[in-house]
Amino acid sequence: MKTLRNRMILLLALSIGTIVGIFRGSEAKQKWVFRIKSRFDEKRQIAEQKKLIRGGGVALDDIELAAFHNN
């Protein structure tokens, strides 16, 4: 159910981005889609961190995550 909702949100963002692109150009479309996707990804990351904390894990910030994944 969540994947269906996520796909619908992404589809809605892309279709609205297409309409914005028609009227304002491709750069405005790219800004719109990026803004919606980043908002969506941020909410997903926050939910993952809350789930990790509830499970007894330690929440890491972006710098710690980047350092961990580079090694």
Per residue, the 3-state secondary structure of the chain, as one string, reads CHHHHHHHHHHHHHHHHHHHHHHHCHHHHHHHHHHHHHHHHHHHHHHHHHHHHHCCCCCCCHHHHHHHHHC
Comparing CA positions, the residue from 35, 46, 30, 36 lying closest to residue 11 is: 36
Confidence tier at 70 by pLDDT (50, 70, 90): low
The model's pLDDT over 26-45, given as tens digits with 9 standing for 90+, comes to 888 888 888 888 888 888 88
Comparing CA positions, the residue from 71, 4, 9, 8 lying closest to residue 40 is: 9
- Total domains in the chain come to 1
Average pLDDT value for residue range 56-66 = 73
Q: Where in the sequence is the domain holding 46, given as residue range(s)?
A: 2-70
